Structure 1
Amino acid sequence: MKSLTRLFLFFLCVYSVDTLKCYVCSATNNNEQCNQNSQDCNPPLDTCMATVDTMNDVTAIVKQCASRATCLGAQAGASVDNAGNGNKVYCCNSRLCNYSGAAGLSLSRWLLVLPTTVCLLMAILMHTD
Structure 2
Amino acid sequence: MNGVPTMMKILLCILLLSASLSPALSLTCYVCSSTATNEECNMDNQTCPEPLDTCMTIVDVLGNSKSIVKQCASRATCLGAAAAGVVDEDGNGSTINCCSSSNFCNHSGAAAARVHAALWLLPLLGLLLLSH
TM superposition score normalised by structure 2: 0.65
Q: Residue 101 of structure 1 aligns with which residue?
A: 109
Alignment partner of 2:106: what SS? helix
Extract unaligned runs of 5+ from structure 2: 1-20, 116-132
The one-letter code matched in structure 1 to 2:62 is: M
Alignment partner of 2:52: what SS? coil
Q: How many residues align?
A: 93
The structure that is helix-richer by fraction is: 1
Q: Determine if the alignment matches structure 1 residue 26 to structure 2 residue 33.
A: yes
Q: Residue 80 of structure 1 aligns with which residue?
A: 87
Q: Determine if the alignment matches structure 1 residue 68 to structure 2 residue 75.
A: yes
Measured against aligned partners, the alpha-carbon deviations of 1:60-115 in whole angstroms (never above 9, x if no partner) come to: 00000000010001000001000000010000012110111116x38x98xxxxxx
> How far is the alpha carbon of 1:19 from its aligned partner?
2.0
Larger radius of gyration: 2
Extract unaligned runs of 5+ from structure 1: 1-13, 110-129
Q: Which runs of 4+ in 1 moved over 6 A?
A: none
Q: Give the whole-Å Cα distance in 2 for the aligned partners of 1:81 and 1:59.
A: 15
**Pairwise CA RMSD:** 2.2
